[in-house]
Chain A
Amino acid sequence: MRPYRLRLRATKDNGFKGLVFVMSFLSMAPLALILFYIAKQGLSSLSWGFFLEIPKPVGAQGGGIANALVGTFLLVVIAALPSIPLGIGAGIFLSEHREGAISYWARLAVEVLQGTPSIVLGLIAYMWVVVPMGGFSALSGGIALGIMMLPMIIKATEETLNLVPYALKEASLALGVPYYRTILRVVLPAGMSGIMTGILISVARIAGETAPLLFTAFGNAFMNWDVAKPVNALPMLIYNYATSPYPEWHRIAWGAACVLVGFILLLNLFVRMVIRRWKVQF
């Protein structure tokens, strides 16, 4: 085949490559700008006091976000404790039963849950926990966030386990290892990096959620370790302080935003490290 209009096609080729590059750059630009701006605004607020003190009353200088840090920590733990085992268990079930009515409806439920707006989940937690308990608490907030984590963990587990080759299961079963042990001690460990990634990503997601916490954890100006009482959280603090009229509080909000974004960044780096160390090549 003779080279037909070679010069024109080469030019088009280069033009396309350039266009793709520009598009990528343009889509990354806002992200870069956001990170840069947050850092610029927030870094100046960071100090040891910032992390260890609770917020001071209005007008006073200084203060920190210690109670919000503690609150976020409590909420993540309460959310993770039930949803990790439940999520992994459901993921294992769905991976082992590709067909069947239960699997079909379960998968549908997971999809719907994942698409449900977080504020609706907060409302659910309000009805199930806040109302019976008679008050706001970290527990209710954690439960709302846990429900948010669940579909992400389930999907990550199911997809990772689907990637584990049947040959591994076969090898284990042929050795006379019972089914449940094969899943727990061969298939799960083989998929551990994917599952951990799913968990860490979902933690990163819920750490920054505000809406469901509005009427569950509710927020607290003081340090609180009691899960039955309201508790402050980083996103809530940012919301409250950013919408306040006090410049001092604005500064703290920027600092908190910086911390939150930094935390998510670290978590993602950690995920990459996990993948590199733990990923199993088949």
Chain B
Amino acid sequence: MEGTVLKTVRLSAYYGDNCVIKTVDLAIPESRVIAVMGPSGCGKSTLIRCFNRMHELTPGARVEGRVLLREADLYQMNPIAVRTRIGMVFQRPNPFPMMTIRDNVIAGYKLNGIRLDRATRDGIVETSLKRAALWEEVKDHLGRKGPTLSGGQQQRLCIARALAVEPDILLFDEPTSALDPTATARIEALMTELKKSVSVILVTHNVAQAGRVSDLIAFLHAGELIEFGPRGQLLTTPKDRRTEAFLTGKLA
């Protein structure tokens, strides 16, 4: 019996007085890929940033309601602790340019001043790069700087970096929109592999990607959660006419 890894209870998010997420109730099962889909400006990126408490970093931003990570209220915890349990991969690959590939992977430890002995460090680097399907390509070049890699490789490096701190959930904010089709395919395959060990929440505006990769799809429109269901059923016979309109290209 699988459990719920993340649950939101009447979650609302604001920029100043502007309400961008309207009382969303979502229960996300673990070890699955959840796609959050919707038209531009519907609030998908904002929603996942409420999960790892990055939303509140914007001046004037605030959150109402609760977000629970396996029964723990995320907004009662230290935000730093939250972000070590819920990692994030961004739209544009952003490896640290001054660090080597090796240091990039363990950046989560290094930047926090956590000392690792060489054996542990190399173990974490190798495991994370293998989980991100990058090990074979860079294992002989760990001393090189991040930006020498291609776009797809850089993104996988960012994935390895996020995996190194062993989060429960990994958030992907349109991770392949800046990549070419081959790199995109590799990362999609990676996500379906990763879900066995990490719950994946993927924001995408690409319906086809949501179909290929996800187990469950959440459809968001103007800050509201319209529908949340298994991908086959939602894509074939959506329950809400707004979902249908979006899928058939009739929604703004």
Contacts and interface: CB of A to CB of B under 8 A. Distances in A.
Contacts of B80: 176-178
Contacts, number: 69
A1 B54 CA distance: 56
Interface in A150-177: 165, 167-168, 170-177
Contact of B84 (A170, A176, A181): A176
A185 interface: yes
B111 A171 contact: no
Interface-central residue, A167, A168, A175, by most chain B CB under 10 Å = A175
A168 B96 contact: yes
Given A175-B87, A176-B84, A178-B80, A170 B54 contact: yes
B156 to A, nearest CB: 14
A175 B54 CA distance: 11
A190 B95 CA distance: 12
Nearest to A190: B98
Interface in B45-101: 52, 54, 57, 80-84, 87-88, 90, 92, 94-98
A119 B108 CA distance: 50
B96 A176 contact: no
Interface string B207-226: 00000000000000000000
Contacts of B111: 172, 175, 177, 181-182, 185-186
Nearest to B171: A174
A87 B252 CA distance: 50
Interface in A70-96: none
Given A170-B54, A182-B111, A175 B165 contact: yes
A70 B147 CA distance: 44
B37 interface: no
A273 interface: no
A282 B90 CA distance: 16
A167 B146 CA distance: 15
B83 A176 contact: yes
A173 B161 CA distance: 13
Interface string A182-214: 100110011000000000000000000000000
Contact of B97 (A175, A178, A281): A281
B84 A168 contact: no
A186 B98 CA distance: 9
Contact of A176 (B97, B98, B108, B158): B108
A281 B154 CA distance: 15
B96 A171 contact: yes
Contacts of B57: 173
B112 A176 contact: yes
28 contacts: A165-B94, A167-B90, A168-B94, A168-B96, A171-B94, A171-B95, A171-B96, A171-B158, A171-B161, A172-B96, A172-B111, A173-B57, A173-B83, A174-B90, A175-B84, A175-B87, A175-B161, A176-B80, A177-B80, A177-B108, A178-B80, A182-B111, A186-B96, A186-B111, A190-B96, A280-B97, A281-B97, A281-B147
